[in-house]
Structure 1
Amino acid sequence: MGLMACENNTKEIPNSEIYINMPEDGYEVKVNDTIDISPKITYDINTTYSWVLDGSLISTEKDLRLIPTELNKYAYLFSINNSRGIASINISVQSMYKTDFEEIVLEEDTFWTNTENYTSFISDQIQFESTGNYESDEWTGFTYSNLTGSNSDNDYEKYSSYDDPDEYDSDIFGVMLLDAYQHPITLTTKDGEDHLFKSISINNAYYVVDAISNGNNGSKKFGGETGTDTDWLKLTITGINKNGTTRGNVEIMLADYTSGSNRYNTILKEWTAYDLQNIGKVSRLEFVLSSSDSEGGKINTPPFVCFDEVKIIE
């Protein structure tokens, strides 16, 4: 009787399992940066490990270090074998060019004024155009900043992100100085070749949110007094390849009151990543701002947009 009770209480020993804190779309790493991948394993005793890439065994260590030197998608198969059995997991890593301005040195609470009158600047693998400077009557193109929120100098709020980019690697972000007459501003790939842009992160400038929320800074109050005017503010990104062929575009609603209802009125106030892959491989991106608040071909909404983390994957 006692023997049968002992046999009935015998528990099945589970197999070892692999756990890894991998983002849903896989890991990302900048070209020439380092990423260390360290899987967690239950019952990790007398275990053998294998990392397979493209059908070839590349490592028998538990952890893997990758320093990519080019754009690539790495699809690893990580496997373990011990007395509890065999387990495996697919791990993907995308190497990329990522323009996040982290290499730029900028004093606290300021922005690049281009007093030298440069016609462009480069960050990572992207060249940004700039026409004019902070002192000019007209300044279009791109600059960079680390300003967030309101500022005692109202003019500085044009270059201030509504929300702090805490989740990103750098406190510095880019600012689009768009043309009120809807002529495009342009960024180009540094090597002049066609590449696949994965995404760009966008947020409104504090100055713009104040303008459309309260009717300040030359703008009408979006929605009007009742909140039912069908106003909108849109950024259009168009991709053009090195042969001059337009490949596609992406439209981003920075403010959307088109429902005609207070309940559904929205203004972009948080950093948000937008997919650009449907544009295809291009060598330049053009940016145009359009608004329901316009007259005579000119938009009245202040033409400033904050951006960060421009990613290229092919």
Structure 2
Amino acid sequence: MKTRATQLILFKILMSITVYSNAQTVSDYENLSLNADSYWEGSDLSQGFNSGNAFFTNTFDLTWGGYWSEGFAYSNMKDSTTAGFTNLYSARTASGYYNSANYAIGMDAAVIHLKNAAKGGIVNGMYVTNSTYAAISMLQGDAIGKQFGSIYGANGDIDGTQGKDWYKLSITGFYNNAPINDTVDFYLADYRFSNASQNYIVTTWEWVNLESLGNLDSLIFHLSSSDNGDWGMNTPGYFCVDDFTTMDSPLLVENHFKKNLFAFYPNPAGDQLNVSFTSSNYTFISIRDLAGRELFKENIENTDKYKINVSGYPSGAYIIEVSNSDHFIERTIFIKN
């Protein structure tokens, strides 16, 4: 079995890369026409919709009067307070990312096919949040889904979770018609913290970085939860997406240690991380944990030195990443004592 030190060394070699792209396309869904406070669920049987360099698949089942049964829908609904299935097409944020109008809603096993310049290239990531339906169900409980944090299921029986509930979005994909080996996980809710004040249900738009998946032709999204019953997952299986962003070029890898375009000290770090740059062309600096969650991001234009307060970070390994307006990204690892 590899030691922790060996794992960190291997991870450092893997992550200490430079990625460069000539173009970037954002699927923001604003190209899709909707009446005010409405949605599209596929009843025109078009089997999906295009935005940016991506096709978002959809299946509309004509039985039982017709209903959205697979894939994605899109919406500009603003209802962040009404509980239940009748409010299926609303985001908990009451708008798209950065108060934009339109956003997409996905369900388990939803698929995105990349097209044009994006096909076979890198997906930078996307913004994700909960649907109103899922968020309120987890917060309050309903006839099927439990209240997260409770030791009881919706049926009133002790469910064995001890209140350590979670709701997870997992993203993987395909390249050259073969499944890739990597998955990115993002917790839409997590009640497993020893300090209950850290428990959360996502109610804001959060960036999910997907660059680690490598070159892709398509992506597939899976939902899972700690709350399950005889018929599967009890938590409403929906999530919302905005600004799905493709790099529109394959992954290009260069050796970070030959570039040395930024440096930092001390490593391991105590309360403060000092960063210096050999170029003033960088626009952003960010820190992520090893699960890819963004913990810090700041604009650093026209800056050659920067200090980051890391005193509140738990001990462990973190990814420090810098980027510029041409989507050039350099990243490496630092250790927090």
TM (normalized to structure 2)? 0.59
**1:215 aligns to 2:144 (yes or no):** no
Match of 1:287 among 210, 215, 221: 221
- What secondary structure sits across from 2:145 in the alignment? coil
| Structure 2: distance between partners of 1:176 and 1:138 | 10
Q: 1:189 aligns with which of 114, 137, 142?
A: 114
Deviations 1:193-224 (A, max 9, x none): 31100011000011111101111252011111
| 2:95 is the counterpart of 1:174 | no
Which deviations, in whole Å up to 9, do the C-alpha atoms of 1:117-154 show, x marking residues without a partner?
22222122111111125953661110000112346694
Q: Matches of 1:260 and 1:222 in 2, distance apart? A: 15
Cα contact 1:110–1:145 (8 A) shared by 2: yes
Instruction: Please list the CA deviations of residues 88-130 of structure 1 after superposition, one character each: whole Å capped at 9, or x if unmatched.
Output: xxxxxxx311100111110111110322222222122111111
| SS of 1:302 mapped into structure 2 | coil
SS at match of 2:44: coil
Q: Which has the larger radius of gyration?
A: 1
Task: Report if aligned partners of 1:114, 1:133 keep a CA contact under 8 Å in 2.
Answer: no
Secondary structure of the structure 2 residue equivalent to 1:147: coil
Q: 1:305 aligns with which of 215, 224, 239?
A: 239
| In 2, Cα distance between equivalents of 1:164 and 1:98 | 21
Cα displacement (A) at 1:300? 0.5
User: Residues of 2 paired with 1:120 and 1:166: CA distance?
Assistant: 19
Please identify, of 301-310 and 235-244, the stretch whose mean Cα deviation from structure 2 is larger: 235-244
How is 1:86-235 mapped onto 2 (pairs within 5 angstroms)? 95-132=23-60, 135-136=65-66, 139-150=69-80, 154-165=84-95, 168=98, 170-178=100-108, 184-191=109-116, 193-216=119-142, 218-224=144-150, 229-235=163-169
Q: Distance in 2 between matches of 1:286 and 1:297?
A: 22
* Superposition deviation, residue 264 in structure 1: 2.0
Shift of 1:243: 3.2
Partner of 2:335: none
Q: Give the unaligned 5+ runs of structure 2.
A: 1-19, 153-160, 250-337
Structure 2: distance between partners of 1:116 and 1:137: 11
Q: Distance in 1 between matches of 2:124 and 2:230?
A: 36
3-state SS of paired residue (1:213) = helix
Cα 1:167–1:122 shift into 2, 3 Å: closer
How far off is 1:157 after superposition?
Answer: 2.0
Opposite residue 123 of structure 1, the aligned amino acid is: S
Aligned to 1:255: 189
Contact 1:101 1:170 in 2 (8 A): no
Q: Secondary structure of the residue that 1:160 maps to in structure 2?
A: coil
Code of the residue aligned with 1:195 in structure 2: it is G
How far apart, in 2, do the equivalents of 1:195 and 1:241 lie?
9
Q: What is the aligned residue count? A: 218
Counterparts of 1:161 and 1:243, CA distance in 2: 32
Question: 1:169, 1:293 → 2: CA distance?
Answer: 31
- Taking the aligned partners of 1:108 and 1:260, their CA distance within structure 2 comes to 43
Shift of 1:165: 3.9
CA distance in 2, matches of 1:211, 1:155: 10
Greater than 4 Å deviation, 4+ residue runs: 151-154, 225-228
SS of residue matched to 1:220: coil
Over 3 Å counting, the alpha-carbon distance change for 1:103 and 1:133 in structure 2 is farther
For CA contacts below 8 A with separation 6 or more, give which structure has more relative contact order. 2
- What's the C-alpha RMSD, in Å, of the aligned pairs? 2.6
Which structure 2 residues correspond to residues 39-50 of structure 1 after superposition, within 5 A? none
Over the matched positions of the two proteins, sequence identity in percent amounts to: 26
Q: Secondary structure at the match of 1:258?
A: coil
Note the residue ranges of structure 1 that are not aligned, 5 or more in a row.
1-70, 74-94, 179-183
Partners of 2:97 and 2:127 within 8 A in 1: no
Q: Give the partner amino acid of 1:175.
A: I
Counterpart of 1:9 in structure 2 is none
Separation in 1 of the partners of 2:103 and 2:240? 7
